[in-house]
Structure 1
């Protein structure tokens, strides 16, 4: 599979390393300042850039008829526009707040737990996320996805960052040195606490999931999710 890397930071370099180990070829790579290779040779694009560059990168791929996998977070207010463009171009597109296989299993476990806990009103649910100091957006896209899964089965109206409002789901975001990504869901009562935790040990889990998504997306048309890639049923 011939891959274009739109964004060549730490994640892009990890994807490159693992993709080459799996026998794929990197035919194009770009940063905000430079590019290398021939974009039109790509069979699929993997996009990990910045919130400011994501829409432009995704549009570039869709306009060129190249399937695109996007792992950038912090731009989803424009998601509807990208869906319309994908449909207009008869293209293929996957975006996810997190491509790690473990995290996507965690999403489903979290939704099931939220459904199971819904009748037990003595438990208050909250989400905590911890990331490295360089992460720009807060809360993380992963934490938002977790919160949205909980809200499907909750009386709470919405999620908010660092809130004590009773009707809102509190997300706490912390930034610490060299943390790859930790997410904790807690159900607290006066009697006990039930916690679910996912802790990433390296970027390789995110990179491998993005490559799996690219392998899935190649030669397909439409808009897909990681549930499609992993065969997870709702």
Structure 2
């Protein structure tokens, strides 16, 4: 499989190592400021760029018939446009706020717990996410996905707020600490006890492996998919 890496930072380099170990070829490596590249030489593209260029990268892939996997967060105001373009061009597209296999299992666990806690109004829900200091957006896309999973399954919340508690709003605390790959914690707290679920990434390997597996999976498929489709869960 010939892979284009759109974004060649720490994640891009980790993806490169894993892809090569799995027998794939990296035919294109695009830095964040490079917009003059030939995407058609690739069988599939993996986008871990930055919020300001992600949509352009995805658009370029879909316009040229190249399926694209995107793990860039912070650009989702244009997500619906990407979906429309994918359908128009009959392309293949996967966006995930987190490609880690463990995190996607954590997403489903989070939804299940929210359903179980829905009638127990004595518990207040809070969230915390911690990432490295180079992360540009806050809260993380993973934290937003977790919050949306709670809101969809718990009648006590209809939105989320960053670093702020308000009625029917789920507060998310975002911290930036050097060299932390990603930690996400969900707390249900009452006067008598606290229930906590947490996912802690030890390195970037899990995110990168999931992205490569998604790229392998999407070859030959048309449509808009997510990691539940790739992993056949949820």
Do they fold alike, i.e. is TM over 0.5? Answer: yes
CA distance in 2, matches of 1:37, 1:148: 36
The aligned counterpart of 1:156 is: 157
The aligned counterpart of 2:71 is: 71
Q: How has the CA–CA distance of structure 1 residues 4 and 192 changed in structure 2, closer, same or farther, with 3 Å as cutoff?
A: same
CA distance in 1, matches of 2:33, 2:153: 45
The 5-angstrom pairing of residues 190-229 of structure 1 reads 190-229=191-230
Residue 41 of structure 1 and its aligned partner are, at CA, apart by: 1.7
Residue 32 of structure 1 and its aligned partner are, at CA, apart by: 2.6
The aligned counterpart of 1:24 is: 24
Residue 163 of structure 1 and its aligned partner are, at CA, apart by: 1.3
CA distance in 2, matches of 1:153, 1:66: 35
The aligned counterpart of 2:181 is: 180
Cα offsets for 1:115-173 (capped at 9, x unmatched): 01111110001110000111110000000000000001222121111112131001110
SS at match of 2:153: coil
Cα offsets for 1:155-193 (capped at 9, x unmatched): 212111111213100111011111000000000000000
Cα offsets for 1:60-114 (capped at 9, x unmatched): 1001100000000000010000011111111010000000000000000000001
CA distance in 2, matches of 1:78, 1:115: 30
CA distance in 1, matches of 2:36, 2:57: 15
CA distance in 1, matches of 2:136, 2:111: 27
CA distance in 2, matches of 1:31, 1:61: 16
Q: TM-score, normalised by structure 1?
A: 0.97
Name structure 2 gaps, 5 residues minimum.
Answer: none
CA distance in 1, matches of 2:202, 2:102: 11
CA distance in 2, matches of 1:70, 1:37: 17
The aligned counterpart of 1:108 is: 108
Q: TM-score, normalised by structure 2?
A: 0.97
The aligned counterpart of 1:53 is: 53
Residue 36 of structure 1 and its aligned partner are, at CA, apart by: 9.9
Q: How has the CA–CA distance of structure 1 residues 78 and 38 changed in structure 2, closer, same or farther, with 3 Å as cutoff?
A: closer
SS at match of 2:97: coil
Residue 39 of structure 1 and its aligned partner are, at CA, apart by: 2.8
Contact 1:65-1:91 within 8 A present in 2 as well: yes
CA distance in 2, matches of 1:117, 1:225: 26
CA distance in 2, matches of 1:183, 1:97: 13
